[in-house]
Amino acid sequence: MAYKNLQDFIAALEKEGELVRIKEFVDPKLIITEITDRISKQYGPALLFENTGTEFPLLINSMGNYKRMCMALGVNNMDEITQEIESMFKMITGPKDSIMDKLKMIPKLGQISSWMPKTISGRGACQEVIQNEPDITKFPVLTCWPEDGGPFVTLPVIHTKDPHTNIRNVGMYRMQVFGPTLTGMHWHKHKVSARHFNEYKKLGQKMPVAVALGGDPIYTYAATAPLPDGVDEYILAGFLRKKRVELVQCITQDLQVPADADIIIEGYIDPSEDFIWEGPFGDHTGYYSLADWYPQFHITCITHRKNAVYPTTIVGIPPQEDAWIGKATERIFLAPIKMTMVPEIIDMVLPMEGVFHNLVIIKIKKDYAGQALKVMNSMWGAGQMMFTKMMIVVDGEVNIHDQKAVAKYISENVDPQQDIVFNSGPMDVLDHSCSKAAFGGKMGIDATQKLPEEMRFENAMPNFENKNSIAKEKILAEFPAIKDINDSLLKENISLVFIAIEKNKKGQIAELSKALFELADFKLVKIIIFLEHTIDISDIADAVWRFSNNVDPKRDAFVISVDSQQEPSHIAFDGTKKTKEFDGFTRDWPNILANTQEVINQVDAMWDKLGLGPMPVSPSRKYLGQLYGTGAVVKE
């Protein structure tokens, strides 16, 4: 389904009871974030702030639950898209034995051609108003978190093109606002637009850039989609909306943008110019991404619709709106992966606690020994899957959308010293756990049912009965650095224990792991995850989020091998923050995200005026006590 424009999508959300209009004045600096964070944690409605102190209303959390993400994609269920892609692949690539088989393809090929983007003549609705003197500060650009370097545009659909081929790329990279006509352009070294930038630099030419905000929400999704270099994102958008994207020529740059967008920001980047110090920024990992040098984007023109709405989002500690965008990618790209690369894949999940790149669970149809390892290596070589830190492969009847079921399956089928592999490779630039920026350790867990060739012993893997609990008081008394133990998963036959520890010396986790696994209480426990003593380890989702962010699996895993078939082997992970003193870690470590007590109090005081129902407790209240002091960077 194609939406005529963003206003059409807003009307659809409102009709479905999925949107609340807020007429009270709300400050875009921190206050909107605090309100939205409370709502997004409850999977609450989209919010349209109609009084932002500017002439533009602000839309946020528009895709912040499964239903609204489906509405944006024009489906009732995301798996409809997976099935359609599979059907199309089979039709196009299948054998054509007769002339009739070939003729039957003509209507489908005609339909596909009707989805291709097209540049139309004249001006678009996005150009109804042309600012004589462009000024991005006239829009309600959010300052999201207290230690952010300034206000950031967070949902920009950014257009660049290869200077040699003119092939377009559409991506999404945050933009810090430095002045009326100047922003940063935060694209990472692995991104296509960064490659375009390098080509313009070699040519000694200025790089044209155009930014679209609003329009059909499918444009926002398409800009985030992990398409191969050279594939136009507007082809994907046309397929999803079942209607071609109509583009118009920019006013001051040689680029084309969606005619139905709300706001267009045109400009250029001069590769000969010094970079600008950009950030920090409260990012989708739930931590601040720290300041660094990025290109300067100079604005030459801003146009917009007469009734333009400024779309934005916040990211942070999950769940947030971006989790549902990630869910769409998980479902949409499952089919191409199955059809072109890894046919044994049945299903795939990117848990929100893994913030996209830290954790993936893959289910396969297993036919031979070593197949799980083959799948891991294939996936690590597939586009943005190269950033995946931890990959878990399962088979059988396990429901991989049930995280406890997956954890139990791992407990039953994993021999840590045999079935966990470690590797190194490129990491997401936002991964703060790596000892070296954008390069670190990876881990693959083969949790499939084992064939004889894959086991250490001739007999089948023993099915160890877990203890139901650990003698906590005894352990706490014997090891003073341990401040808390969460053994609740043992009662569900999940052989995993969380331990909160206050680190105070080098090599402590390795030493403690060995000591604990020698105790009777831990003889049958396969996995221990160590976290900082400030973390509430009773909240398992939170514990997994912190662990997956803080661990470099290759560096921070401690495998305890055993020779006996009467007890399992073991593995422990150091999921604490890393320091120079205790870990030899020399990079800056970022802080987690939480709003200030002052902002929390302000929103508490105004809540009844917002029309959002009973006031939820601020998520930041939980995390204020977990901050590493003040600032975006942890002070050792």
C-alpha closest to that of 244 among 265, 210, 219: 219
pLDDT, the chain, mean: 94
Band (pLDDT 50/70/90 cuts) for residue 44 is very high
Q: In what order do the strands lie in the sheet with 256-258?
A: 118-119, 246-249, 256-258
Q: Alpha-carbon distance 119 to 246, whole Å? A: 6
- Tokens in use for 221? 């999704």
Tokens 């980047």, residue? 269
Confidence at residue 616, expressed as pLDDT on a 0 to 100 scale: 97
Band (pLDDT 50/70/90 cuts) for residue 605 is very high
Confidence at residue 414, expressed as pLDDT on a 0 to 100 scale: 96
Confidence at residue 279, expressed as pLDDT on a 0 to 100 scale: 97
Confidence at residue 462, expressed as pLDDT on a 0 to 100 scale: 63
Opening angle at CA 158, ends 155 and 159, nearest 5: 155
Contact 572, 580 (CB under 8 A): no
For 130-175, the pLDDT digits (tens) are: 998 999 999 999 999 999 999 999 999 999 999 999 999 999 999 9
Say yes or no to pLDDT of 96 above 70.
Answer: no
Residue 277 bridge partners (DSSP): 293
Confidence at residue 565, expressed as pLDDT on a 0 to 100 scale: 81
Tell me which H or E stretch contains 161.
Answer: strand 157-161
Contact 5, 307 (CB under 8 A): no
Q: What are phi and psi of 413, to 5 degrees?
A: -115, 0
Say yes or no to pLDDT of 522 above 70.
Answer: yes
Tell me which H or E stretch contains 540.
Answer: helix 540-550
Q: Alpha-carbon distance 531 to 396, whole Å? A: 32
For 215-266, the pLDDT digits (tens) are: 999 999 999 999 988 889 999 999 999 999 999 999 999 999 999 999 999 9
pTM of the full predicted structure?
A: 0.95
Q: Alpha-carbon distance 391 to 393, whole Å? A: 7
Catalytic residues: 283
Residue 2: strand, helix, or coil: coil
Mean pLDDT across 503-517: 97
Say yes or no to pLDDT of 185 above 90.
Answer: yes
Contact 7, 48 (CB under 8 A): no
Q: Alpha-carbon distance 264 to 258, whole Å? A: 9
- Tokens in use for 50? 């109609």
Opening angle at CA 530, ends 529 and 536, nearest 5: 100
Is the peptide bond prior to 319 cis by the omega test (within 30 degrees of 0)? Answer: yes
Band (pLDDT 50/70/90 cuts) for residue 100 is low
Confidence at residue 343, expressed as pLDDT on a 0 to 100 scale: 94
Q: Alpha-carbon distance 308 to 505, whole Å? A: 57
Identify the residue with better confidence: 19 or 99: 19
Say yes or no to pLDDT of 551 above 70.
Answer: yes
Identify the residue with better confidence: 469 or 419: 419
Say yes or no to pLDDT of 109 above 70.
Answer: no
Let me know how long the chain is: 636
Mean pLDDT across 589-613: 98
Say yes or no to pLDDT of 90 above 80.
Answer: no
For 286-314, the pLDDT digits (tens) are: 999 999 999 999 999 999 999 999 999 99
Contact 289, 437 (CB under 8 A): no
Confidence at residue 476, expressed as pLDDT on a 0 to 100 scale: 97
Contact 68, 46 (CB under 8 A): yes
CA 605 to centroid of chain Cα atoms: 32
Opening angle at CA 234, ends 230 and 235, nearest 5: 75
Mean pLDDT across 346-350: 96
Q: Alpha-carbon distance 514 to 208, whole Å? A: 57
Confidence at residue 567, expressed as pLDDT on a 0 to 100 scale: 85
% of the chain surpassing 90 pLDDT: 87
Band (pLDDT 50/70/90 cuts) for residue 457 is confident
% of the chain surpassing 70 pLDDT: 95
Q: Alpha-carbon distance 389 to 440, whole Å? A: 8
C-alpha closest to that of 158 among 208, 216, 223, 217: 223
Within 10 Å of residue 195's Cβ, how many Cβ atoms?
15
Band (pLDDT 50/70/90 cuts) for residue 189 is confident
Band (pLDDT 50/70/90 cuts) for residue 94 is low
Mean pLDDT across 493-506: 96
Q: Alpha-carbon distance 141 to 60, whole Å? A: 12
For CA atoms 550, 553, 554, 558, the dihedral sign is positive
Mean pLDDT across 604-614: 98
Q: What are phi and psi of 474, to 5 degrees?
A: -65, -45
Say yes or no to pLDDT of 479 above 70.
Answer: yes
- Tokens in use for 568? 């399992």
Opening angle at CA 502, ends 500 and 505, nearest 5: 135
Identify the residue with better confidence: 87 or 46: 46
CA 539 to centroid of chain Cα atoms: 21
Contact 523, 532 (CB under 8 A): no
User: If you compute the radius of gyration of the chain from its CA atoms, what whole number of angstroms results?
Assistant: 26
Say yes or no to pLDDT of 93 above 80.
Answer: no
Say yes or no to pLDDT of 463 above 70.
Answer: no
Task: Give the per-residue SS3 of 292-357.
Answer: EEECEEEEEEEEECCCCCEECCCCCCCCCCHHHHHHHHHHHCHHHHHHHCCCCEEEEECCHHHCCC
Query: Is beta strand 359-364 parallel, antiparallel or unpaired with respect to 390-394?
Result: parallel
